[in-house]
Structure 1
């Protein structure tokens, strides 16, 4: 994953930017812009093991696990063939990547998703896909904790 370079704002920046955007189409464009900020997903990571089931679009998440300061830390990279979903991947990465596995398991990305107003403005299929991505990241964190 070393070749994967992302320009990712912090989750605090994303929440602040959402609060400044009043119209949904501005927020929608911002989510797409976040997706454009993801680095190039390596072709070698586009394999079935990294595909997220339950998403209408194709979504890939690759996870690396390392020990840092006595904690198991997960780093995620991701991609999608749909612009808006790629933006949702970017939001999840800002929320959960480079964090201890225990924090990822305890986090509630769906609550933030709803607080940002994304649930009410996206199709049910996109919302379900978001939940599938969260479930995948949480499962990877739980697996890392048991190793």
Structure 2
């Protein structure tokens, strides 16, 4: 499934809810479904800068695809990172690096988050794309 198809799927899922309380509950459920990250990966170098809560993001290359795992100490934030992992994980570095993230605005995520959480969301996307760019550069060497 392409990144765009996954984004469309998320847009459809979020459009099923009438109000933002339901959407927050859905995000929390997505966060709960996130596989547990190994405690050894909860290190300072994996922390996302710019997030109000702690978010650990780990990436690795498997069969030419970037695989992300993450955790957070806040349930809403864990839901946000779960959405981003669903979109970006298991795609090539090039696909991730060039991916459009307009779906975030389409589902209204940024406008319904506190300013600090919205900044954290931007920081998470930026970090995922930076990992992808780094892996892309490594593959070209």
Taking structure 1 as the reference length, the TM-score comes to 0.86
Partner of 1:55: 51
Cα distance in structure 1, aligned partners of 2:40 and 2:9? 31
C-alpha contact 1:55 1:125 (8 A) present in aligned 2: yes
Taking structure 2 as the reference length, the TM-score comes to 0.89
1:81-100 counterparts in 2 under 5 A? 81-100=73-92
1:1-147 counterparts in 2 under 5 A? 11-66=7-62, 68=63, 72-109=64-101, 111-147=102-138
1:17 CA displacement: 1.6
- RMSD between aligned alpha carbons? 1.2
Cα distance in structure 2, aligned partners of 1:104 and 1:13? 17
Q: Please give the per-residue CA displacement for 1:101-131, whole angstroms capped at 9, x wherever unaligned.
A: 001001122x111111111111111111001
SS of the equivalent of 1:76 reads strand
1:29 CA displacement: 0.6
Unaligned 5+ segments in structure 1 are 1-9
The total of aligned residue pairs comes to 133
C-alpha contact 1:11 1:91 (8 A) present in aligned 2: no
Unaligned 5+ segments in structure 2 are 1-5
SS of the equivalent of 1:16 reads helix
